[in-house]
Structure 1
Amino acid sequence: MNFQERKTQETNIRAGIRIYGTGSYSIDTKIAFFDHMLEAFSKHSLIDLELKCLGDIDVDYHHSVEDCGIVIGQLLRESIYPLNGVERFGNASVVMDEACVECDIDLSNRAFLFYDLARKDLDEKILQGAILDFNVELVEEWFRAVCMQSNISVHITLKRGRNLHHIIEASFKAFAVALRRALMRNSQISIPSTKGCL
């Protein structure tokens, strides 16, 4: 398992991942809903994840959520590249009751995030609201931090849904499954690019 630490005046994080694991996890950020989402990510990606975060959650959850994304993204980049012998592309649509979220991934070694969880039935430009005391706008901050640090291109789109918990959890699970599929080993593929490197 690869480990990273990040210490700032706002957070103190130690995290480790094993990308070809069993989906085992030990997660403690003191943010219950966020812990639940990271557990879902680990379980469905089959990436083993250990994470301990002490953050200034008395101020806001923003620093902890974003910095955890930074550290996880850095660990993914170190574990994935240089890319060799894997599918590279992954896709998943995950349903949770009335909600369905799709995620498309390219292990391109180029960072990009398209994030559209707008509830078009309510004509909202962004997903807004809170689950208990967790502001759902932080979900986009986590995904952006992961993508920018891991050099992964990710598109996350809400196909339908109304329940905030279902939508957010489906997005983490869709990302996890798409990433697992992109990382699937394929002996027929060496470097999955006509460029000769990724």
Structure 2
Amino acid sequence: MASTAPRTGSVNRNTTETKIAIAVNLDGTGAYDVHTGIGFLDHMVEQFSRHSLIDVTMHVDGDLHVDQHHTTEDSAIALGQAISDALGDKAGIGRYGAAYSPMDETLSRVALDISGRPYLVWKAKFTQEKLGEWDTELIEHWFHSVAQSAGITLHMELLHGTNNHHICESLYKGFARAMRQAVERDPRKGSAIPSTKGQLGG
């Protein structure tokens, strides 16, 4: 019989570049408390939390006087690690998720597999250098870092769209909806690992 206990994970990551405290609850309601020092990144992580129903607490003190790279990368690494911690052996999860995410003129497609084999296929681009104060070149890197640390095979594609804000938000919401499907427990699977190998990854 599958466990019904909430699946939670947390990470405290302290380096000379960033100090990070992150906690997640995969069986949450989409509650969030996010402070990274980068306003648009906060907004996107909040969208991820709300639409995945994964509760996220994320507090980051990074070296923004240098640039935004370390804060973006390290927060994504820690979030992925916290999700991996909460998933445990991944028993009973849906494992796969996919979503089309429309936002006005924009449409994105996201498909993922919590496989333990990290990989990112990225087919999206931005036509401006910043959203708010956030460098748009870091958006792909954020998803790459989450996929690597959480062990996710992640395919993200912008099908069409022109507004850079809409493009970014569509991708994050699509990722959230796909993650919601993938992490949810399937009662028909019970405590079985969703793989004929008996394990995920490796």
Aligning the two structures, in what range does the TM-score lie when normalised by the shorter sequence?
Answer: over 0.9
Q: Which amino acid in the other structure matches residue 194 of structure 1?
A: T
Aligned CA distance change for structure 1 residues 133 and 183 (closer, same or farther; 3 Å): same
Q: CA deviation at 1:128?
A: 5.0
When structure 1 is superposed on structure 2, of 85-94 and 33-42 the one drifting more is 85-94
**C-alpha distance after superposition, 1:120-141 (max 9, x if no partner):** xxxxxx6652112211111111
Map of 1:16 onto structure 2: 23
Q: Give 1:98's match in structure 2, choosing from 93, 105, 109.
A: 105
How many equivalent pairs are there?
A: 191
Map of 1:110 onto structure 2: 117
Answering whether residue 62 of structure 2 is matched by residue 60 of structure 1, we say no
When structure 1 is superposed on structure 2, of 78-87 and 92-101 the one drifting more is 78-87
Structure 1 residues not aligned, in runs of 5+: 119-125
Compute the RMSD of aligned alpha carbons. 1.2
Q: Which amino acid in the other structure matches residue 87 of structure 2?
A: I
Q: Give 1:29's match in structure 2, choosing from 36, 43, 46.
A: 36
Using structure 1 for the length normalisation, give the TM-score.
0.92
Answering whether residue 81 of structure 2 is matched by residue 74 of structure 1, we say yes
**C-alpha distance after superposition, 1:31-75 (max 9, x if no partner):** 111000000000001000001101111211111010000100111
Q: Give 1:87's match in structure 2, choosing from 94, 103, 109.
A: 94
Using structure 2 for the length normalisation, give the TM-score.
0.91
Q: CA deviation at 1:81?
A: 3.3
Q: CA deviation at 1:99?
A: 0.7
Q: Which amino acid in the other structure matches residue 24 of structure 2?
A: I
Pairing 1:134-145 to 2, within 5 Å after superposition: 134-145=134-145
| Paired residues of 2:52 and 2:179 also in contact (CA < 8 A) | yes
Map of 2:5 onto structure 1: none
Distance 2:169 2:117 in 1: 26
Structure 2 residues not aligned, in runs of 5+: 1-7
**C-alpha distance after superposition, 1:153-172 (max 9, x if no partner):** 10000011011100001111
Pairing 1:173-184 to 2, within 5 Å after superposition: 173-184=173-184
Answering whether residue 201 of structure 2 is matched by residue 194 of structure 1, we say no
Answering whether residue 161 of structure 2 is matched by residue 154 of structure 1, we say no
| Paired residues of 2:38 and 2:133 also in contact (CA < 8 A) | no
Aligned CA distance change for structure 1 residues 147 and 127 (closer, same or farther; 3 Å): farther
Distance 1:76 1:29 in 2: 18
Q: Which amino acid in the other structure matches residue 54 of structure 1?
A: D
